Amino acid sequence: MIELADLIEQLRRELTTAVSAGAGEELRFELGPVELEAAVVVERATTAGAKVRFWVLDAGGEAKAGTSATHRIKLTLDPRIGSSGGRPWVSGDTEDGER
């Protein structure tokens, strides 16, 4: 199992790599909303001030009986470029008239 935050961080890295790899390509793709669906285990430690953690199950994984429950979640992430707030392109530089 991995933490949900780690899954999202890895997705961010993969998308960044895809954007960089497309530089100079003639065919361009606008990176729109990204949907993730995952089976997660919600776990909260019993110590004071403990945070809740969302663990993403590996393919075929199951929660340990009696210690946690498995839930399905669906996230829609809408990637934006930091300062401009624009949508990234999985390719090179933007052209005039592109959103």
pLDDT of residue 10: 93
pLDDT of residue 23: 76
Residue 85 lies inside a defined structural domain of this protein: no
Query: pLDDT digit string (tens) for 4-61?
Result: 999 999 999 998 888 888 778 888 788 889 999 999 988 877 777 777 888 898 766 5
Residue 89 lies inside a defined structural domain of this protein: no
Count up the domains in the chain and report the number. Answer: 1
Residue 41 lies inside a defined structural domain of this protein: yes
Residue, of 50 and 74, whose pLDDT is higher: 74
Which residues form the domain of 19?
A: 2-77
pLDDT of residue 22: 79
Burial of 33 (0-12, 13-18, 19+ CB in 10 A): exposed
pLDDT of residue 69: 75
Residue 83 lies inside a defined structural domain of this protein: no
CB neighbour list of residue 96: distance below 8 Å, 6 or more residues apart:
none
pLDDT of residue 66: 47
